[in-house]
Chains A and B, each alone.
Chain A
């Protein structure tokens, strides 16, 4: 009786979102999947040719390397910031959160152009070091540029899951460790860090999955060797005009993201267990 009303009301609340998703996500996705296996007749030929294509393999490796290295470096920036924010009073923390969120107010396109101005051959950095007689550094249109742009986008995403796990920890644990005689370093490495690992894992996977689909960053800040999956889809759609191949790559990208998202679900489950 109650369970039924509960289900009914759940269906009622979820319905609008469900309809929206069905129209703008599930239907297009179905169409893309269809596109990848339909060429006048059912075929998995495009999957065979994509998977055996050396271009695809190179782009897949590119995507994974750019995603994971950017995510890892972004983590090194995000963790100390989250740690610092966790120690502030709620008022100061709210202010810092605002500051962290400011990059979200700007579109990724604008941010990429801004980075071009900073990193370019005649950009701020190279002009400045030029005054000191240092030859210009290759900062743009290469892997370095893509990774800088990606990190810049990722840091805010990564701060919040870590901050949450740091805030969720019992403040008495640190106090107890202190009273037992532990120094700051020991408390960090034996108490704070291990207890924040679920948050770190969640933020790492979240950010990495987010990066798999990056398009603008690689096309504006990268060179010819820094093509990512989304760029490859674009290439097949607009230049080679092979929509079968484009759809196939999109489906494979979707599967890649789904696998990592499922992994993330597992770490969430683990973190609730640990809590």
Chain B
């Protein structure tokens, strides 16, 4: 293989890649993306946002309309999928139904014309790794969904591809199994040091698994960052809404780092997009950053925002409690706290103040594409 010795060389490099279909449908707008060797990157976005198109372009299933795809330093744009030495894990497992677990895992090795003895050895090893050594003679349909997906993982890692693509691999599994498989995939990633590109529309999955999240919206990359950065420093209203719960306040900028609600209450801005005076600006405050205080006891300290409101409802969701509060400008804001006895003190209709740190207030870029 032309595996380059330059360590800076990214495992995947997309340059000016775009995909358009007949009739002017833009599946993917021009984008660049680098993935470092050994990185776990999640391609996150709602359905139709272009993430799967991008995965198919990298796999070689869909030719890009423009741009080039480099894998491990060599240009593979014109290569068919079979020549790219990739692995792929599908949502529906894509196991060959007429072959045993053993034969399924051996398939890529037979393609590579390995000796029967080496095949046996490698298949045993990976089946051991995914804890399915006991099931090697069974047919895929005799296994549970989670087991089938582990076979498909084994089939993928057995030939040690330079890059593994995963297309919503856990989408068909129930929640509990999904969490188990998430940690299993993470474990395999740590053990093997493979580069993984993981398509998902599940923000929790992306947050918990990825080293880096690439967020897609309407065929574009809207933001790429580590999970923590994407959560705490979303750039746009879309990013803020897509990851986690969010309160978006509609305000007007009145000065450097300061805005006001329609009701006139001032809000100090901690970070985010630059604002220009007298222009509308959307502010993000995460529900878990908002505290409810008695009106007379509310903090007026510098660096703290405080607005008046009225409790509408409180809901216990297990270990957290969500309070819905109407603030002075008529919008509803959510405040989240851990479920403790004190969290139940607020009665609907009660007049209170909401306070949060200015540092937890983030100015968002307006979404150019949002309607």
Contact with B along A115-139 (1 / 0, CB 8 A): 0000000000000000000000000
Also in contact, A180 and B111, with CB within 8 A (given A172-B92, A191-B96): yes
Q: Does B231 contact A (CB under 8 A)?
A: no
Alpha-carbon distance A176/B60, docked complex (angstroms): 12
How many B residues touch A, CB cutoff 8 Å? 25
Which residues of chain A come closer than 8 Å to B61, judged between CB atoms?
175, 178
**CA of A179 to CA of B61 in the docked complex: distance in angstroms?**
9
CA distance A274 to B142 in the complex (A): 11
Is B107 in contact with chain A by the CB < 8 A criterion?
yes
> How many angstroms from the CA of A173 to the CA of B60 in the assembled complex?
15
**Quick check: is B5 within 8 A (CB to CB) of the other chain?**
no
Contact status A178-B111, CB under 8 Å: no
B159 and A180 contacting across the interface, CB-CB below 8 Å: yes
**Of A1-9, A64-72, A181-189, A261-269, the one touching chain B:** A181-189
Q: Does chain A have a CB within 8 A of B232?
A: no
User: Within 8 Å of chain A (Cβ to Cβ): is B27?
Assistant: no
Chain A residues near B45 (CB, 8 Å)?
A: none
| Interface residue count on the A side (C-beta < 8 Å) | 18
> How many angstroms between the C-alpha atoms of A175 and B159 in the bound complex?
17
CB distance from A167 to the nearest CB of B (A): 16
Chain A interface secondary structure, helix, strand, loop or mixed? helix
Q: By the criterion CB–CB under 8 Å, are B87 and A179 in contact?
A: yes
Does A177 sit within 8 A of B, measured CB to CB?
A: yes
| Shortest Cβ distance from residue A103 to the other chain B in the assembled complex, whole angstroms | 34
> Is A182 in contact with B82, judged by CB distance below 8 angstroms?
yes
Chain A positions 180-210 with a Cβ under 8 Å from a chain B Cβ: 180-183, 186, 190-191, 194-195
- Minimum CB–CB distance for A182 against chain B, Å: 5
Any A CB within 8 A of the CB of B119: no
> What residues on B are CB-neighbors of A194 within 8 Å?
98
Query: B81: CB under 8 A from chain A?
Result: yes
Beta-carbon contact of A181 and B82 below 8 Å: yes
Separation in Å of the A239 CB from the closest CB of chain B?
Answer: 52
In the complex, chain A residues whose CB is within 8 Å of the CB of B111: 180-182, 186
Tell me the bound Cα distance from A191 to B110 in angstroms: 14
Distance between B269 CB and nearest chain A CB, rounded to angstroms: 48
Query: CB within 8 Å of A: which of B46-91?
Result: 59-61, 80-88, 90
Contact B81 A179 (CB under 8 A): yes
- Assess the B80–A178 pair: CB atoms within 8 A: yes
Kindly list chain B residues whose C-beta atoms are within 8 Å of the C-beta of A183: 82
Q: Mark A93-126, 1 if CB is under 8 A from B, else 0.
A: 0000000000000000000000000000000000
Contacts A182-B111, A274-B97: A176 and B82 contacting too (C-beta < 8 A)?
no
Bound state CA distance, A175 and B96, in angstroms? 11
> B108 at interface (Cβ–Cβ under 8 A)?
yes
Residues of B within 8 A of A182 (CB): 82, 107, 111
- The reply to whether B97 and A179 contact each other, CB–CB distance below 8 Å, is no
> Chain A nearest CB: distance from B196 CB in Å?
15
Contact in complex: A175, B97 (CB < 8 Å): no
| Minimal Cβ-Cβ distance residue in B for A187 | B82
Closest to A171 in B: B94
Residues of A within 8 A of B92 (CB): 170, 172
B274 to chain A, nearest CB (A): 45
- A194 vs B94: C-alpha distance when bound (angstroms): 15
Q: With a CB–CB cut-off of 8 A, which chain B residues contact A172?
A: 90, 92, 94
How far does the Cβ of A141 sit from chain B's closest Cβ, in whole Å?
A: 45
**A contact residues around B83 at 8 Å (CB):** 181
B112 in the interface (beta carbon within 8 A): yes
Check A179/B159 contact, CB under 8 A, given A172-B90, A274-B97, A274-B98.
no
Max count, chain B CB within 10 A of own CB: residue among A170, A180, A183, A190: A180
Interface contact A179-B88, CB-CB below 8 Å: yes
User: A172-B92, A175-B61, A186-B111 known; A180 and B97 CB under 8 Å?
Assistant: no
With contacts A180-B111, A181-B108, A181-B111 known, is A175 near B81, CB below 8 A? yes
Chain A residues with CB under 8 Å of B96's CB are 173, 177, 190-191
Q: Closest CB-CB distance, A244 to chain B, in whole Å? A: 50
Is B150 an interface residue when CB atoms closer than 8 A count as contact? no
Q: Is the CB of A195 within 8 A of B107?
A: no
Residue B13 interfacial (CB < 8 Å): no
Q: Is B155 an interface residue (CB 8 A)?
A: yes
Asked if B94 and A170 make an inter-chain contact with CB atoms under 8 angstroms apart, the answer reads yes
* Chain B residue, CB-CB nearest to A275: B97
Contact B88 A176 (CB under 8 A): yes
Say yes or no: B98 contacts A178, CB within 8 Å.
no
Residues in B124-183 with C-beta less than 8 Å from chain A: 155, 159, 165
Q: Is the CB of B94 within 8 A of A173?
A: yes
Contact for A180 among B60, B98, B108, B165, CB less than 8 A: B108
Bound together, the chains give a CA A185 to CA B88 distance in angstroms of: 21
How far apart sit A182 and B82, CA to CA, in the bound complex (Å)?
A: 6
Contacts A181-B82, A181-B85, A195-B98 given: A176-B112 contact, CB under 8 Å?
Answer: no
Proximity string of chain A (240-275) to chain B, C-beta cutoff 8 Å, 1 when within and 0 when not = 000000000000000000000000000000000010
The 3 closest A-B pairs by CB, nearest first: A180-B108, A176-B94, A172-B94
Interface residues of A (CB under 8 A from B): 170, 172-173, 175-183, 186, 190-191, 194-195, 274
Between A and B, 15 residue pairs with Cβ closer than 8 Å are A170-B94, A172-B92, A175-B61, A177-B107, A178-B81, A179-B81, A179-B82, A179-B165, A180-B159, A181-B83, A181-B85, A181-B112, A182-B111, A183-B82, A274-B98
With A180-B108, A181-B85 known, 7 other A-B pairs at CB within 8 A are A170-B94, A172-B90, A175-B61, A180-B111, A180-B155, A181-B159, A190-B96
